Structure 1
Amino acid sequence: MNATDRTPADLLRSALASDPARPFVTFYDDATGERVELSVATFANWVAKTANLLQGDLGAGPGDRLALLLPAHWQTAVWLLACSSVGVVAEVGGDPAAADLVVSGPDTLEAARACPGERVALALRPLGGRFPQPPPGFADYAADVPGQGDRFAPYAPVDPDAPALAVDGTELTGAQTVERARADAATRGLGPGSRLLSGLPYDTWEGLSAGLLAPLACGGSVVLCRHLDPADADGLAKRRESERVTATAL
């Protein structure tokens, strides 16, 4: 990571430049048995496509506010970095009625309908699958994102000192987000090559940091676990061993 990186999108660009092939996000859903592993390059490609969708098809730009109604999931991580790439403020669990656009999972569609702007729905199915039938009033992310461009360039420069992330009642700029993520990585003893297993939800800073931002800030990677049972000590030990985990956040 470079000292000049001042937004999460900057951190991802540096990771892509330094070691694109290394694993970055390994996602488990213990309710479905799903496992997905994304290298830095693959993750960055998803981010570029999503940022193009956000900026182009959805007409979002710097300062717009996006209510992000998604659980801890690899596609949520993609959306967070896409928002950073465009300059859109990602409001995790934000009020759809007060947002310019909303991104919703299958369990929050009714709440998301309050958004007066563009609405995007994610099925959160294994392998990024589509809805069997798109929800009325929503664009189906899995149907719309594959055709987007593999490279992204913002129409306007992203200001690292502008609001970038709102979570758990706190709003942070891009620069503040990077600073806090770096501090968290240092506190956890993370560095290049670290593998942090996180079973925390994304609705707090601690969850976002452990499940994405701190590993990104230090050149590490994350094993993101949804529906993890912390009481299953044997299962957790086996996963830590198989995934070469160096730190845990539960």
Structure 2
Amino acid sequence: MTATDRTPADLLRSALAADPARPLVTFYDDATGERVELSVATFANWVAKTANLLQDELSAEPGERVALLLPAHWQTAVWLLACSSVGVIADIGGDAGAADHVVAGPGQFEAGLACAGSRIALSLAPLGRRFPTPPAGYADYAVEVPGQGDRFQPYAPVDPEAAAVIVAGAEFTGAEVVERARADAAGFGLTGPGSRLLSGLSYDTWEGLGAGLYAPLATGASVVLCRHLDQLGEDAVAKRIESERVTATKR
């Protein structure tokens, strides 16, 4: 958002300063009918709480690796920015056995048990509901995060040149994430504030991360993030594009 932004967390701070009320992430799950819209301010609050959980409760330190065993989802986007805020590495779909911490969703709990460190489970249920009983070996994110602080301050400044994200086996520093997000924006059809990108891509590739979070954040735009979009017919997709005032799509 500004020329001095060097990390994804910087981009979020600039977005918050520019227009906290504008939509940032609108999430659909077309398998459940869920729709969630988060303004910049609401999204940033979730990020602050999650970063406090990482830093204070899980004792995560800069340079440690967090395996995110999660799909494209608004809560995954929150975790990506929380990791950037703390300075830990977000490893998308990474090897839990090699990670210091793991954050897992349904279908990934068994794999996540390979992590010897802290383990957080997300139900990914509508409204971020708690588990009736958390998976064995995990703490429930929906139980742990509400009590965390609404403001976050890292114990040490985050190094823009340190590793920030690993996706599809490729490692990117915070500065590289920002640079690539800005470079990708034009190709995604994002021209600045008011642009609205509908993405049906998963988060397991750079393109999916760029379209589904980083490029909109870097340009003052917003994203309509759709999980299970393939369950909709073309007429329904067209209606969503119209109703959400979408200006560009990546599917």
Normalized against structure 1, the TM-score is what?
Answer: 0.99
Q: CA deviation at 1:188?
A: 2.2
1: distance between equivalents of 2:232 and 2:144?
39
2:47 corresponds to which residue?
A: 47
2:226 aligns to what SS in structure 1?
A: strand
Q: CA deviation at 1:206?
A: 0.5
2: distance between equivalents of 1:12 and 1:107?
30
Report if the CA contact (8 A) 2:30-2:232 is conserved.
Answer: no
Gaps of 5+ in 2: none
Q: Deviations over 1:90-146 (max 9, x none)?
A: 000000000000000021000000001000000001011111101111110000000
Matched, 1:132 2:132: yes
Q: Deviations over 1:4-34 (max 9, x none)?
A: 0000000000000000000110000000000
The structure 1 segments of at least 4 consecutive aligned residues displaced by more than 4 Å after TM superposition are none
Aligned residue pairs: how many? Answer: 250
Aligned ranges for residues 219-234 of structure 1 at < 5 Å? Answer: 219-229=220-230, 232-234=233-235
Q: CA deviation at 1:231?
A: 6.7
Q: Deviations over 1:53-101 (max 9, x none)?
A: 0000000010000000000000000000000000000000000000000
Report if the CA contact (8 A) 1:28-1:36 is conserved.
Answer: yes
1:247 corresponds to which residue?
A: 248
Gaps of 5+ in 1: none
Report if the CA contact (8 A) 2:163-2:172 is conserved.
Answer: yes
Q: CA deviation at 1:186?
A: 2.1
Aligned ranges for residues 94-243 of structure 1 at < 5 Å? Answer: 94-190=94-190, 191-229=192-230, 232-243=233-244
2: distance between equivalents of 1:193 and 1:231?
25
- Residue range with higher mean Cα deviation, 17-26 or 186-195: 186-195
Report if the CA contact (8 A) 2:69-2:105 is conserved.
Answer: yes
1:4 corresponds to which residue?
A: 4
Report if the CA contact (8 A) 2:30-2:227 is conserved.
Answer: yes
2: distance between equivalents of 1:126 and 1:108?
18
> Residues 123 and 64 of structure 1: is their aligned pair in 2 closer, same or farther, counting only changes over 3 Å?
same
Equivalent AA in structure 2 for residue 181 of structure 1: A
Q: CA deviation at 1:187?
A: 2.1
1:16 corresponds to which residue?
A: 16
- Residue range with higher mean Cα deviation, 114-123 or 182-191: 182-191
1:82 corresponds to which residue?
A: 82
2: distance between equivalents of 1:231 and 1:148?
37
Equivalent AA in structure 2 for residue 61 of structure 1: E
1:61 corresponds to which residue?
A: 61
Q: CA deviation at 1:230?
A: 7.2
2: distance between equivalents of 1:129 and 1:189?
35
2:236 aligns to what SS in structure 1?
A: helix
2: distance between equivalents of 1:179 and 1:38?
25
Report if the CA contact (8 A) 1:122-1:140 is conserved.
Answer: yes
1:102 aligns to what SS in structure 2?
A: strand
Percentage of identical aligned residues: 77
1: distance between equivalents of 2:230 and 2:189?
25
2: distance between equivalents of 1:230 and 1:114?
33
2: distance between equivalents of 1:155 and 1:231?
45
1:10 aligns to what SS in structure 2?
A: helix
> Residues 155 and 229 of structure 1: is their aligned pair in 2 closer, same or farther, counting only changes over 3 Å?
same
Report if the CA contact (8 A) 2:30-2:231 is conserved.
Answer: no
Q: CA deviation at 1:189?
A: 2.9
Report if the CA contact (8 A) 1:230-1:236 is conserved.
Answer: no
Equivalent AA in structure 2 for residue 167 of structure 1: V
Equivalent AA in structure 2 for residue 159 of structure 1: D
Aligned CA-pair RMSD: 0.8
